Structure 1
């Protein structure tokens, strides 16, 4: 198969960023839960909350390490594979990335040592403060990354200048660029998705312990708190998604048309629950709610929604893939609402932890929010094609001029090998820590204490 540089570079960037994005949502979601767990410990002073907090700190640390390691590569890809794009957006894109490093990553990393190693070395209030700062740092990191990406979706506060024949975008108003039209709603959508993903990890491990009849108090409390976070996040997502769709309709109407397989501009536009679209015949079939797309976007069934035929065909996104990824993401979101609300009802009735079939469902369900978050980004990024910066720079124009397809292929294969090994190391560490359980840390500390006492006796003698 003879792939060109653009295709291979897009595959490479998609692979590296999708692999990396497995981990930040876990860190963000678990950061929130760590704050809740440790706050409950400080309020109640119950030993069980200390055990819960300290166990999940270990899982958080393993996830954080792999997330950082896998994310470094992408910054280099901007220069190696996407040099033309980097020159065009560098003056703008660099600002939020620099802010992410200064105000988010340094904050997160600076307090991480206290979070991991300071439990018996600092006061409880100081340790909780460090936990909050790490959680806040992970959220702020997501904010600045989403700001940078959102500017590409809805570019504002810039002017185009030309130096020596090279066009580039320059910021005219930093804060207008930061709070561009899609930034806040997309940030909310991303962060709530991360909360759900982190909560499902905790519920999956909690369900495992309950089914094994091990660490029952630990597992039931962890599961219950994570379930409440997952339920609230799942209920919030359709509301945020509704606002997001209105922003997309206003600034990226071709993307919304691709989401719903809408070819003709029309009032009373249908909203598809499930279906199939064919851009060749320009037909979409399936189960649809008549007029619901118009109502959701405009607040009236008579609202007009633009179809793909309003745009040149060369400006259409890849409609089939975007349509399916978007609808699968929505379907998973609806499943999360049904699952978490039913589980909350069973928890309220005191029967949740007796329902073996439901707990077994939560074991593999940890993968579903990961898939949903990935599908959300696939829909957003493929939906703005063929633009790498909406309306300003095409993806085909952003590629590096000096790189060859052979070089990209070699680096892609190497990345696949290294990332596969890294993924299995991550799975191994998680598996080991989960099998050791929450009591393992106390056993280690008891061993250190006994060894220390022996050394004191030796010194005294």
Structure 2
């Protein structure tokens, strides 16, 4: 493999690995803030224990997400210097805001939340976690603004003297129509993921007690039952948001990236109406496909909101792209194939939806298992153990497949219609150098994954501990010279 292919593999590995933590961080920060607010309002011991319990899990995940995110950004200078030189003035603006504004917002207030138990007023303390959550959401907004510009570049011009893209309208970049649908889609998916984690963890404790014949104290049984239902409801409500925003995103994608929509369906020729295939069999080259199970007109609706609309096919779009982009400064090869690798686009699109629907099914099952009339023996079967391990993984995997589809479906463009991926790689970086860094980062990420899983599992097994409420310290006050103590 050459430096270009290795650089793409490295960026894909680091991006997908980093995004394993991002939706959990966004979703759980909101849920922990909600539990904390409920405790401040009611002083219900259950809410306090849930806040501390899931606060530990959130901090573990936050730390790993932070480390992997920093490494990811180094690649713009390491492997993609020509890309950074060409469009850095635009792409760098939202990333700079993300680093200077939201990163520090999250870092400062997560510290106040961790060390603030019993040291700052309760309401102010709960507010710090809400500010952490706002920081995570704003961080996602700025990063998605940068990515959305790559999908649909707006608010820029090409300087004829140096050939670089220059920012002309910052607000156009921030309000890009791709951004306006991608942002709510990602955020609702994050809430869905956070809800699934809370749901699975608490239901697992109920299952473990039922399987081992242990009778939980009524206080803890109600605590886990309530938290399971909260997580399940959040998962279901957020999943509705994912479906609605995904539908809107499909229509925008058809408008600005028709090739990506055609590749997602393996639709090779224009069709009116265009069916959606549930199952398709094609060759490995991605040049033909036989649709085995189809839903008539569904792709037309997904793409244009009309069951009888015409959807353009891959080969027809390829002809249009050849006439549009041939002989431009960055795409001067008449042999350029503007088609992404269709088997990847087709299946990642379906895996994204399939795992998302699986998470919804698990939420419905969790609500049924925790109804008031439910019997403990209903949670005893061994299959619950494996289902509860898989439940939080379903939305995480769906998010990952969604990102792979988003990026692979844009190929061969690194910036749609502006710059091909092959022109963005660092010209003086050798394949051996990229391979070395990729191996080092992959091994490092593997080690971090072991640490993450061990810590996460350790504190999940400990469950919601019986920790006294920190109201006494707030009442008496804390001396100026008393050292801060890490609460976990």
- Report if TM-score (shorter chain) is over 0.5: yes
**Equivalent of 2:305 in 281, 299, 306:** 299
**Equivalent of 1:336 in 356, 359, 362:** 359
- Tell me if 1:172 matches 2:198: no
Distance 2:97 2:52 in 1: 30
**Equivalent of 1:136 in 134, 137, 148:** 134
Q: Which has the higher contact order (CA 8 A, sep 6+)?
A: 2
What per-residue deviation string (whole Å, max 9, x for no partner) do you get for residues 317-357 of structure 1?
A: 10011101101111122223333234335545632865325
Distance 2:232 2:8 in 1: 37
**Aligned match of 2:432:** 406
Confirm or deny: 8 A CA contact 1:347 1:353 kept in the other structure: no
Distance 1:380 1:224 in 2: 32
- Identify which range, 349-358 or 384-393, moves more after superposition: 349-358
Distance 1:280 1:341 in 2: 37
Match of 2:188, SS? helix
**Structure 1 residue 308 displacement after superposition:** 0.3
**Aligned match of 2:40:** 42
Instruction: Report how many residues are paired.
Output: 442
**Aligned match of 1:77:** 75
Distance change (3 Å), C-alpha of 1:271 and 1:34? same
What per-residue deviation string (whole Å, max 9, x for no partner) do you get for residues 34-55 of structure 1?
A: 1221122122211110111011
What per-residue deviation string (whole Å, max 9, x for no partner) do you get for residues 46-72 of structure 1?
A: 111011101111111111111111111
Confirm or deny: 8 A CA contact 1:58 1:116 kept in the other structure: no
**Structure 1 residue 277 displacement after superposition:** 3.4
Distance 1:445 1:43 in 2: 13
What per-residue deviation string (whole Å, max 9, x for no partner) do you get for residues 279-337 of structure 1?
A: 55523322110111112333323211110011337000100111011011111222233
- Tell me if 1:222 matches 2:227: yes
Match of 2:23, SS? helix
Query: If each structure's helix is expressed as a fraction of its own residues, which one has the higher value?
Result: 1
Confirm or deny: 8 A CA contact 2:269 2:314 kept in the other structure: yes
Q: Structure 2: 5+ residue runs without aligned partners? A: 210-215, 319-335, 473-488
Confirm or deny: 8 A CA contact 1:262 1:284 kept in the other structure: no
**Aligned match of 1:435:** 461
Confirm or deny: 8 A CA contact 1:343 1:352 kept in the other structure: no
**Aligned match of 1:273:** 278
**Equivalent of 1:283 in 284, 289, 310:** 289
1:32-111 correspondence to structure 2 within 5 Å: 32-111=30-109
TM-score, scaled to structure 2: 0.86
TM-score, scaled to structure 1: 0.91
Distance change (3 Å), C-alpha of 1:342 and 1:218? closer
Confirm or deny: 8 A CA contact 1:210 1:219 kept in the other structure: yes
Q: Could you say what the CA RMSD is over the residues aligned between the two structures, in angstroms? A: 2.1
